[in-house]
Amino acid sequence: MKEPQPPPADIPVSTGNSSTAATQRTPRFIVIGAGSRGNAYARAVKTTTPGVIHAVAEPHDFKRREFGRDYIWGTDGSPSEGQEFTDWREWVQWEIERRKKTIATDGDDSSSTAIPLGVDGVFICTLDETHVEIIQAIAPLQLHILCEKPLALSLDDCLTVYRTLQPQPQSASQRPNPPATIFSIGHVLRYSPHNTLLRKLLLTDRVIGDIVSLEHTEPVGWWHFSHSYVRGNWRRATANGDGSLLTKSCHDIDFILWLLCSPTSLEDARHQPHFPRSISSAGSLTQFRHARKPVAAGDATNCVSCPIERECNYSAVRIYKDRHLGKGHRKWPVDIVCPDIEDVFRVSGRAAAEEHLLSRLREDYDVHVQSDADIATKPWYGRCVYEADNNVCDDQVVTLAWDDEDSQPKRLAKTATFHMIAPTEKQCERRGRVYGTTGEIEYDSNTISIYDFASATTRKIDVPRPPPERAESHGGGDYGLAGQYVHAVNAVMNKGIDVETAQARFIGCTLEEAVQSHAVVFAAEEARREERVVKWKEWWEEKLKLKDSVVA
């Protein structure tokens, strides 16, 4: 765990990028991490916002070049200075030096024109364990930040991020200082057209009266879970609680809190969050373990050499080669296994691309030769799902309960359950039901059905689907999140709106709320591991005290 450090004295805070009504300009952003999430947000920025992707930081050469061609310098162009970096640290150091030059040439028009442009905001799309270090490093630059979920892999680190980005008051009796920059977290479920309509129906229109209970399910998808959470980067949990509930479903927990806990409007200071009274959870690794391995597979640990590979649903050859590459699909998940698959296909053709994929799938490890720490450093996409080193839950249920709260408007007791389940036909197409005092709502990823008790009628709402390229990105949530973030930055830069107002109006979620949403996930994991019920208020206060004592 890293504690927040004061900004180094040699980092200039001013970027020289301030705008006035007379000098409005386009917001510029850097994407750190040119993987699937970085590409999703870059597509959204390029196609639907007033901003531009100005730079990329990515260590993988092919990913970086492909990203630049797609979103920055074009297929026929080349990067200008300040647009391409092999590492986020390289970019931070470059930006510090750029600012020093800007300050040194202040007022000298002939010199200042030679200084390359910087950025106004950052998209952090790297592996989960890197988020805290990156945020701490760029915080002194005072740039706007969108960080992919989860914020961090432990509650301590989430609180460290909060203390790094939130200006702290001089004393405990003072109100926290207003934020200096926009902050957004990758809780994309808040931003899809389907879910924003669902929330309006429930909280603003109150079509089923007071909410009594909610059931929400995330069907992960049978092969998707094996890809990401058995063979991939998110297959291992640590004692900090960073299991699949955090890495896969933290935005589902956030979605539930957004409906049942968050104030209807952040711009109305009278509305405060309605926190749950208690949190409990049960779950385990049920399917992807050695006890489930088919006897006929024998001692095989890799799909390519397994005697029953053709019979196994989880054969990596069937999933990546037959199901995807063989049908012409070279994007996710194939490009996760082979980031340069498109390059190989373009230069050498289909047969070479297939052999390149198989060469990656043949990669395996020997537990008698390699250390556990070495095995954990990378994904193993050809590994047998019953012989992998995974330990995260593939089936988990979380239960939340609220008490009545004396407030205006008055908020009443309710319950919620969340179910994350791996072996499903649907892949990440959430579904659920909300029970109210005057009716109930059933929803999936496409429709919302409202049943009214008084009239005994059902009204079905076919939510307009985004275009296919947007619908694949969490039902348009990626585009909604990136769009709101860019609009918030643009409002601060060009429309004279203060950061706190822009944060409330466009992001609809504060940094504090994002941290508390993550805290509920850690509380649920603690409840699952210890087989107990967590009392939220007491638990949260104790965690804050522990953190404060460490900081002191």
Complete DSSP assignment for 518-549: HHHHHHHHHHHHHTS-EEHHHHHHHHHHHHHH
Report d(CA 315, CA 306) in Å as an integer: 9
**What is the reported pLDDT for 128?**
93
| Owner of token pair 């200082």 | 177
**What is the reported pLDDT for 15?**
47
Helix (H, G, I), strand (E, B), or coil: what is residue 70?
Answer: helix
Long-range interactions of 335-339: CB distance < 8 A, separation 24+: 335/36, 336/35, 336/36, 336/227, 336/232, 336/381, 337/361, 337/381, 339/60, 339/62, 339/63
Q: What is the pLDDT of residues 103-118, one digit of tens each?
A: 887 756 555 568 899 9
The whole-model pTM stands at: 0.91
| Owner of token pair 């989880």 | 314
Report d(CA 430, CA 419) in Å as an integer: 10
Long-range interactions of 295-298: CB distance < 8 A, separation 24+: 297/384, 297/386
- Residues 145/494, Cβ–Cβ less than 8 Å: no
**What is the reported pLDDT for 1?**
43
**What is the reported pLDDT for 10?**
56
Report d(CA 70, CA 338) in Å as an integer: 19
**What is the reported pLDDT for 2?**
45
Which residue ranges in the chain fall short of pLDDT 70?
Answer: 1-22, 107-113, 169-174, 176, 239-241, 267-271, 407-409, 468-473, 549-552
| Owner of token pair 């239960």 | 399
Helix H, strand E, coil C: the string for 478-512 is: HHHHHHHHHHHHHHHHHCCCCHHHHHHHHHCCCHH
| Domains along the chain with CATH numbers | 21-187+482-507 (3.40.50.720), 210-287+392-436+511-551 (3.30.360), 290-375 (no CATH)
Helix (H, G, I), strand (E, B), or coil: what is residue 298?
Answer: coil
Q: What is the pLDDT of residues 81-99, one digit of tens each?
A: 999 999 999 999 999 999 9
**What is the reported pLDDT for 473?**
64
